[in-house]
Amino acid sequence: MLTEVLEVFALPRLRSFVDCTLGAAGPSSAIIEAHRELELFVGLDVDPLALDKSRARIEALLSDGSRDELRAYTHVRNFKYIKAVLDGIDENLLSEGVDGIFLDLGLSSMQVDHAERGFSILGDGPLDMRMDPKGTLKAKDIINSWPETEVGRILRDYGEESNWRFLQEKIVNARNGGGLHTTGELSDLVRKASARSGGRQGWIKTATRVFQALRIAVNDELQTLENAIYACFDCLSSGGRLAVISFHSLEDRIVKKTFLELIEVGEGQEDKDDFTLYKNDKFVTEEQSWSKQIVVGRNGVIFTKRPITPCEDEERTSRRCRSAKLRVIQKH
Ligand SMILES: C[S@@+](CC[C@H](N)C(=O)[O-])C[C@H]1O[C@@H](n2cnc3c(N)ncnc32)[C@H](O)[C@@H]1O
């Protein structure tokens, strides 16, 4: 959804930009190239391996000396600490605010493709699933040591898995034989437990939900996301924008709900459903065709009452992209 992200941040002047999920720095490189006026770039990723690559990519972009006015920083840091990071860079930054903040949630292909990180259903690696290699909780701790009811709760609430009771029982029973220690063993258990629902697609879908549930728990993803959205909104300048791409309904629900809480829609401040009426008004310019319905509140405006989703072409070429939802908020 690079085109859409570039459109969202096509502000008249984007002087400062924070990419909270730098990954391989795809969108960040495009933003840096598109905005010659950019004075400050900050990239964060909780995964040091991702950051090594993206740091080199950004340095290469700036190496020709034509962007001397741009200060660029990359930090290995969880995005929930965005305020501390910005404060550490420049003590005036929090009061001035930044013009653009971007979160592209989930895993990078680098993380999924390295079986030893423990995220891959089809590869075989340790049951790890930490995005931050310094984190203390691994998936194997949940699988082999957490109370049975907690294992069930995670499968039900974070995996939205209808067969959670049966899987919970199978996982806990496996402890009698020494427990599960690899992603291959967990996938095998899910495949056998899903034999009744039949077919490769059946068990892979179940395994996707089980792996998602564990990953969310290991990295405390949902609470982190909610806290981070509040922190990011605080860090915006007046007129600054926060854009979040989520990949499953649990994340999207949090983004949608938190945005609404942040802007504080009061009585008489109705949704501006008919976008055409508001073209060229204070909030929506002619170029903003990506924003179909807006919601205006006391503190800001939501440009995506309905989220932006990938175009058909993109859905066809990228499986991961199919479930992507982009939501955008702007601070008054
Ligand atoms: C989908 S990838 C980003 C891909 C990137 N936009 C690109 O195109 O190259 C998500 C990245 O966010 C990072 N990440 C996930 N949760 C994070 C958190 N709480 N704090 C910082 N980084 C996080 C992951 O390590 C991963 O590298």
- Interval 156-173: pLDDT, tens: 999 999 999 999 999 999
Read off the pLDDT band of 280 (50, 70, 90): very low
Read off the pLDDT band of 116 (50, 70, 90): very high
The answer to whether residues 226 and 327 belong to one domain is yes
Kindly give the distance from the C-alpha atom of residue 47 to the centroid of ligand 1, in angstroms, as a whole number: 8
Answer positive or negative: Cα dihedral of 96, 272, 31, 25: positive
For residues 49-76, average pLDDT: 93
The answer to whether residues 199 and 234 belong to one domain is no
The position carrying tokens 């049951």 is 127
Instruction: Give the number of other CB atoms < 10 A from CB of residue 282.
Output: 9
Q: What is the DSSP letter of 198?
A: -
For residues 301-320, average pLDDT: 83
For residues 294-317, average pLDDT: 88
Question: How many structural domains does the chain have?
Answer: 2
Within a domain: 154: yes
Domain boundary at 193, 218, 243, which? 218
- The confidence score (pLDDT) of residue 284 equals 59
Answer positive or negative: Cα dihedral of 61, 8, 223, 127: negative
Return the residue whose CA atom lies nearest to atom 19 of ligand 1.
78
Q: Which domain does 146 fall in, by range? A: 133-218
Whether the pLDDT of residue 274 is over 50: the answer is no
Short-list 151, 156, 153, 163, CA closest to 196: 163
Within a domain: 121: no
Within a domain: 116: no
Least confidently predicted of 138-142, 153-157, 190-194: 190-194
87-95 contact pairs (CB < 8 A, 24+): 89/40, 89/42, 90/40, 93/16, 93/40, 93/235, 94/234, 94/235
Task: Say which residues have a Cβ less than 8 Å from residue 90's Cβ, sequence separation at least 6.
Answer: 40
- The confidence score (pLDDT) of residue 293 equals 86
The answer to whether residues 102 and 235 belong to one domain is yes
The answer to whether residues 26 and 12 belong to one domain is yes
d(CA 242, CA 114): 30
For residues 87-107, average pLDDT: 96
- The confidence score (pLDDT) of residue 40 equals 98
The answer to whether residues 267 and 294 belong to one domain is yes
Whether the pLDDT of residue 198 is over 80: the answer is no
Ligand 1 interacting residues, C-beta cut-off 6 A: 20-21, 23-27, 44-47, 50, 78-79, 104, 106-108, 131, 224
Mean pLDDT of the chain: 91
Read off the pLDDT band of 277 (50, 70, 90): very low
Strand locations in 1-110 (E): 16-19, 40-45, 71-76, 98-104
d(CA 187, CA 106): 20
Residue in 131, 220, 227 to alter for ligand 1 test, most ligand atoms within 8 A of Cβ: 131
Whether the pLDDT of residue 292 is over 50: the answer is yes
Tens-digit pLDDT profile for residues 243-254: 999 999 999 999
The answer to whether residues 168 and 265 belong to one domain is no
Return the residue whose CA atom lies nearest to atom 5 of ligand 1.
23
- DSSP bridge partners of 131: none
The answer to whether residues 54 and 95 belong to one domain is yes
Kindly give the distance from the C-alpha atom of residue 103 to the centroid of ligand 1, in angstroms, as a whole number: 8
Within a domain: 127: no
CATH number of the domain where residue 74 is located: 3.40.50.150
Report the Cα–Cα distance between both ends of the chain, in Å, rounded. 26
Read off the pLDDT band of 283 (50, 70, 90): low
Q: Which two tokens stand for residue 125?
A: 């690696």
Within a domain: 115: no
* ipTM higher than threshold 0.95: yes
The answer to whether residues 79 and 167 belong to one domain is no
Within a domain: 114: no
Within a domain: 124: no
d(CA 184, CA 127): 9
Whether the pLDDT of residue 271 is over 60: the answer is no
**What SS3 class is residue 184?**
helix
Q: Which two tokens stand for residue 151?
A: 């294992």
The answer to whether residues 229 and 211 belong to one domain is no
- Cβ burial 204-236 (10 Å sphere, 16+ → b, else e): bebbebbbbbbbbbbbebbebbbbbbebbbebb
Kindly give the distance from the C-alpha atom of residue 25 to the centroid of ligand 1, in angstroms, as a whole number: 9
The answer to whether residues 226 and 154 belong to one domain is no
Can you tell me which atom of ligand 1 is nearest the CA of 108? 2
The alpha helices in 65-220, defined as continuous H runs, are 82-89, 93-96, 109-113, 139-145, 148-157, 164-173, 183-193, 199-218
Tens-digit pLDDT profile for residues 231-243: 999 999 999 999 9
Kindly give the distance from the C-alpha atom of residue 228 to the centroid of ligand 1, in angstroms, as a whole number: 13
For residues 48-65, average pLDDT: 91
CATH number of the domain where residue 151 is located: 1.10.150.170
Read off the pLDDT band of 199 (50, 70, 90): low
Within a domain: 326: yes
Q: What is the DSSP letter of 46?
A: S
